[in-house]
Structure 1
């Protein structure tokens, strides 16, 4: 309603700051719904989500407001704005255009109905997965059933049983319980039971079944994209990604698959041969994969994951990770009990730079519990931005589901949990070191296939002797991890890399199958999924399991038409880390460039421009193939 002619300063900039309190409260609420939910919060979420969706529509479908934005977009000279202002103007205009501002009144109403329905369906999908994950429990009372399991897994299971007032041992589908069981339990029938339970979450033709939920999500996304003038949801999403088009994503996935599949097939045959030779396993199944992989890894590299765990005590790893962030980026982390948290297990830290400037509040939440969804993620409670001369600093959190301490041992991490921690911390650094003017361009507000670069980049330090020496210390003796053990970790880094790559590519292909066509004709979800996995299948399918029904990344989170991003960003991170390798993994100049051009810039510029400024050139995919040991793979 401003009577003055629209300008950047009276329209675009104030629009980005508008609604700050609501966004802050909403982020707190939905973060709690992920990390510390209960039936009351879930009920409120089902009420609040449609309200927020309607409110977002009220803004982007407001015609007088859009006319003002459009006028600025079409009349302002780019030279009058700096790079960040140009990006904000372009983003604001596209946000209106991509969310229905140019539609007819009738189509605007259709869009409102779609957005309202999607907001509730995505929540329902996640609630079902959480309920299914927590519903299954494998209660064992015969010690013989624990054959093969290391003492740490047994003790964890005993603690879970005691917590529920049961005798014996309890295993659940939470990763710290599920993964060791699948790796070490000798009893094949019990591994099968766990694998089927995990693979069939929300696929039981009951109140928690997600088949109709996900079909409706996919169909509504397709309808929305068509309404807005796009061929499908993937085309709509990828317009705002580095990849740009579904064809480019498919080509990327196919190219990597051609290089990885021969290696994956050889590795799978090696596992089958090993299982046949070792235990006369005639038909190798999915529940055999982790078990024989671990045995073969131990035999090949003399490396047992349970042998590593004593060197990765959680508090020591955390301390070492903070030290690495200090050496690279000049950050200092100090635990502060005065910081309010949402659960007694959450720790708050104040983060300062080398000049003692306050940088961020950082929250760490590490262990599984009821009301917390599975997996690991980074999130924000408050963004960084500048307003009226003040640089508002962010509040950033990482949430994980790591092995709990027991009565006799502290929390000892698997090596995979160590890399997960560093991964989420990379995202956290992206949020904490943000230095933008506008909140919508700050921190991790970047193209989705660029956002995984800082996270995957940080994982590299987990394999470097110089970095491991800072935190890999035996929890009882304080002894630094022996050099020969580090060498075995590095030697085994590419173990079964072909299988791991094909697995990731299969998820990317399933995501694109759901989102790059019209899903309304899909009748049988399992049959559709089986067809999508056909090119990447290495082991027999099972009618009782279905991945789509618990594929939260794409049906609840923000990865729809974007799961390929993990492999896309691996190309960037392998190339970026090769620069550190060349100059030194703690080289201040390279770290400074990474902080300045990647971590602090957020979405203020085109990501490829930022990458080229850091690296001096575009990324070279060869670095990923060499790191993965696939450089010589022939299709």
Structure 2
């Protein structure tokens, strides 16, 4: 075996054969992963070597002869695991955005192994003894604010990972974590398989009744991608299924497609997630008990802004009551319209979007098919970049010579406009495909840090917009455009990060604070300043008429009963699952139905994410007991944008400077409530949220 000579010299390099890209530092531009050179065959040995190297680094730390101090313990922990971070950064991004059977097999193998590795480290008595010794002397160490924050977060992380448990409890907790990791991976893969394997193939013109040209073109492209040239496919990508449910006049086809969409993960067979959910809920409840909490919700929320399940429930129910009342009125309006067209049965979930669009057109004269040509993907990307330039002084330079992990990926260098200083790389992966999980997200191939030299981030946004026909512009819906701005807000949170320690950088903040930068950024898309400059008609090049912008703004609270109900019901069901005190077996669908009956879920609407495909909550524990976070952050984002309105300028420099300093660039260097107060001068109340959603009394 020939090993790369650099393997022992670089913290990120690994003792592997020289033909493995993870064996050496990357001399690519900006340290971009050499995607073309990385194959699935490289991943497993790289993971194994990185785990071993990390364990070696931890062992060296715990056997350090010198008494524990901040440098040889806390900062040493910051240095450890850089090779593992590099391997994981590439691998887990690929498994979400461009996976295949080989990568999925590795993911199933490595998830429990990686969990076991981290459990062993976080429960290592010798390691925790060193951390605890430093923490006990924290007041005498002369630490600055960021160092003190890192010490507090590190110590707390060990305790929450079971470092203070007895030997038997540690063994059981490690087993639970390992099993949960495997189950979460399987859950995610099952949902992806159900999504990618389904297509409703439409073979005749009758099946296209009511569909606008942009959707017919997207469905033709989707059919071709699945080997059905000359036909049209309804897929379960939101960029196709939602407009199909909106425009199709074929109620039978809407019902068929909607049922397939709603039943992902509960179709029986090997991709059925019901048993996985039942086991995960039970194991999470047991984990919470081991760690001294009455429920898993108490455990998760203890390390959040919300702090307790009761605070979360209070906010959700504050929105639920007016949302349900608003939805009832909306349902009555839809039923009246349906009856006027000769449809006398009740409104069903597969009818809502169809009739809501008709009511919107009647009430606001706002037609999605008329609006869409003004929302070209490339123009909306440029708009997001321009807002970042005006607010934060950034410039974006396309780098077509740099190659991503898929031919659709585009790459930009992000610079400080005034000085030309390199800020980071931004990757945009915008189109749906069968190898990509659904939804939209931001992630990092490399995070920012200023410790042991400056390291700038490599950030990716992944979306699932419908790919246009060759030579045609990709056209977005209003929701798509807001999604792009939302995810770019997350990207800016990563790109603008300017902290010393990587574990505090970027989006490494509490779950109910992390959505603030993203949801706040959405507001700029709907400003006249942005829309008039960037919403140009795809055929005529004419800017969007002011009258149409006014209609969009006027219609912002339209259908908010529906939107609020489908979201809030999902958050309430998530909270209910994780507020269970016992560890008895449950039937997930029966439990879901009982909770929906308790809150009085309207029959015409279903949860935005039904339990068997609720990947936010069951693909890992990132948003478990935490789906409420979007609403919690919305309280802040509605109030935060008002700071610009009050200043009389949506790009007010003084407000933007404070926003950058205390929110976008600060990572987790402060408590979130303190960070928000430094930006705004106070904490927000839910009033702006209710007004934004049109639910205020």
Q: Tell me the TM-score normalized by structure 1.
A: 0.97
Find the residue that maps to 1:596 and give its secondary structure: helix
Query: Aligned partners of 2:654 and 2:140: how far apart in 1?
Result: 33
Query: Aligned partners of 2:642 and 2:117: how far apart in 1?
Result: 46
1:171-225 Cα shifts (integer Å, max 9, x gaps) = 1111122111100000111100001000111112211100001111111111111
Find the residue that maps to 2:177 and give its secondary structure: helix
Confirm or deny that 1:589 pairs with 2:654: yes
Higher relative contact order (CA 8 A, sep 6+): 1
**Aligned equivalent of 1:61, options 123, 126, 151:** 123
Find the residue that maps to 1:476 and give its secondary structure: coil
Q: Tell me the TM-score normalized by structure 2.
A: 0.88
Query: In structure 1, what is the equivalent of residue 40 of structure 2?
Result: none
Query: In structure 1, what is the equivalent of residue 434 of structure 2?
Result: 370
Confirm or deny that 1:621 pairs with 2:686: yes
Query: In structure 1, what is the equivalent of residue 256 of structure 2?
Result: 193
Query: In structure 2, what is the equivalent of residue 148 of structure 1?
Result: 210
Query: In structure 2, what is the equivalent of residue 15 of structure 1?
Result: 77
Confirm or deny that 1:521 pairs with 2:602: no
Query: Aligned partners of 2:544 and 2:231: how far apart in 1?
Result: 34
Query: In structure 1, what is the equivalent of residue 561 of structure 2?
Result: 498
**Aligned equivalent of 1:601, options 657, 666, 672:** 666
Find the residue that maps to 2:639 and give its secondary structure: helix
Q: Tell me whether 316-325 or 514-523 shows the greater mean CA deviation.
A: 514-523
Find the residue that maps to 1:404 and give its secondary structure: coil
Query: Aligned partners of 1:106 and 1:542: how far apart in 2?
Result: 43
Matches within 5 A, 1:461-476: 461-476=524-539
Find the residue that maps to 1:424 and give its secondary structure: helix
Query: In structure 2, what is the equivalent of residue 397 of structure 1?
Result: 460
Query: In structure 2, what is the equivalent of residue 232 of structure 1?
Result: 295
| Distance 1:303-1:546 versus aligned 2 partners, 3 A rule | closer
Query: In structure 2, what is the equivalent of residue 121 of structure 1?
Result: 183
Matches within 5 A, 1:51-200: 51-77=113-139, 80-163=142-225, 164-200=227-263
Deviation at 1:17, TM superposition (A): 2.3
**Kept after mapping to 1: 8 A contact 2:570/2:609:** no
Query: In structure 2, what is the equivalent of residue 575 of structure 1?
Result: 639
| Distance 1:511-1:293 versus aligned 2 partners, 3 A rule | same
Query: Aligned partners of 1:144 and 1:385: how far apart in 2?
Result: 57
| Distance 1:542-1:392 versus aligned 2 partners, 3 A rule | closer
Find the residue that maps to 1:256 and give its secondary structure: helix
Confirm or deny that 1:384 pairs with 2:458: no
**Aligned equivalent of 2:99, options 8, 29, 37:** 37
- Counting matched residue pairs gives 630
Query: Aligned partners of 2:605 and 2:641: how far apart in 1?
Result: 37
Query: Aligned partners of 1:245 and 1:523: how far apart in 2?
Result: 24
Deviation at 1:519, TM superposition (A): 6.3
Confirm or deny that 1:512 pairs with 2:589: no
Matches within 5 A, 1:215-364: 215-354=278-417, 355-364=419-428
Query: Aligned partners of 1:27 and 1:407: how far apart in 2?
Result: 32
**Kept after mapping to 1: 8 A contact 2:223/2:232:** yes
Find the residue that maps to 1:400 and give its secondary structure: strand
Deviation at 1:52, TM superposition (A): 1.2
**Kept after mapping to 1: 8 A contact 2:374/2:536:** yes
1:258-289 Cα shifts (integer Å, max 9, x gaps) = 33222222222222222222332321100000
Query: In structure 2, what is the equivalent of residue 28 of structure 1?
Result: 90
Find the residue that maps to 2:512 and give its secondary structure: coil
Query: In structure 1, what is the equivalent of residue 520 of structure 2?
Result: 457
Q: Tell me whether 402-411 or 133-142 shows the greater mean CA deviation.
A: 402-411
Deviation at 1:257, TM superposition (A): 1.6
Query: Aligned partners of 1:455 and 1:517: how far apart in 2?
Result: 31
Deviation at 1:523, TM superposition (A): 3.5
Find the residue that maps to 1:585 and give its secondary structure: coil
Query: Aligned partners of 1:592 and 1:382: how far apart in 2?
Result: 25
**Kept after mapping to 2: 8 A contact 1:237/1:561:** yes
Deviation at 1:510, TM superposition (A): 0.8
**Kept after mapping to 2: 8 A contact 1:367/1:403:** yes
1:432-468 Cα shifts (integer Å, max 9, x gaps) = 0001111110000001000000100011112111111
**Kept after mapping to 2: 8 A contact 1:331/1:352:** yes
**Kept after mapping to 2: 8 A contact 1:215/1:519:** no
Query: In structure 1, what is the equivalent of residue 67 of structure 2?
Result: 5
Find the residue that maps to 1:573 and give its secondary structure: helix
Find the residue that maps to 2:655 and give its secondary structure: helix
Query: Aligned partners of 1:16 and 1:216: how far apart in 2?
Result: 34
**Kept after mapping to 2: 8 A contact 1:502/1:536:** no
Alignment gaps of 5+ in structure 1: none
**Kept after mapping to 1: 8 A contact 2:192/2:437:** yes
Deviation at 1:78, TM superposition (A): 6.4
**Aligned equivalent of 2:477, options 395, 400, 414:** 414
Query: Aligned partners of 2:380 and 2:101: how far apart in 1?
Result: 35
Alignment gaps of 5+ in structure 2: 1-62
